[in-house]
Amino acid sequence: MLTSECICTHLRRAARGVSRHYDEALAGFGVNVAQFSLLRHLQRLDRPSITTLAEAMGLERSTLGRNLRVLEAEGLVALAGGDDQRNRVVLLTDAGVQLLQAAHPAWEKAQVELVARLGEGQRDELVRLLDQLA
């Protein structure tokens, strides 16, 4: 058991465990939880710019760009011209929509399993605390 009092150490350890849980659930769909999350953000946002998407996800533009290149190569997203030449928008392709539809039940099962481990009250408290730290 971890004996450190360092909040960062505990959060990073928990984040790795939670990511591993979702990654295992999504493994059969060829995406990890970070990629799935990116696709879900695209589904919710209407043709976001790379900057808007990065801000919504709490990522640096360079990190998002690397992730987008992978998903673009897999045909799950596409980049298109935005309002001006400096701005590009990110689009979810039909293949991306299909992947989200197919993978959603696996993500939902992973989510339900984690909530069952915590209980709804502790889940709500955890989300509240994490929002406070973010």
Q: Pick the range with the lowest mean pLDDT from 6-10, 26-30, 70-74.
A: 6-10
Over 60: is that where the pLDDT of 1 sits?
no
Distance, in Å, from the CA atom of 4 to the CA atom of 12, rounded to the nearest integer, reads: 12
Q: How far is CA 46 from the centre of its chain?
A: 17
Helix (H, G, I), strand (E, B) or coil at 93: coil
CA distances from residue 4 to 7, 8, 12, 74 in whole angstroms, order as listed: 8, 10, 12, 41
CA angle at residue 40 from 38 to 44, to 5 degrees?
115
pLDDT at 4: 80
Distance, in Å, from the CA atom of 90 to the CA atom of 99, rounded to the nearest integer, reads: 17
Which of these, 19, 18, 25, lies nearest to 102 by C-alpha position?
Answer: 25
pLDDT digits (tens, 9 = 90+) for 11-51: 999 999 999 999 999 999 999 999 999 999 999 998 899 99
The 10 Å Cβ neighbour count of residue 31 is 23
CA distances from residue 102 to 105, 117, 128 in whole angstroms, order as listed: 7, 25, 30
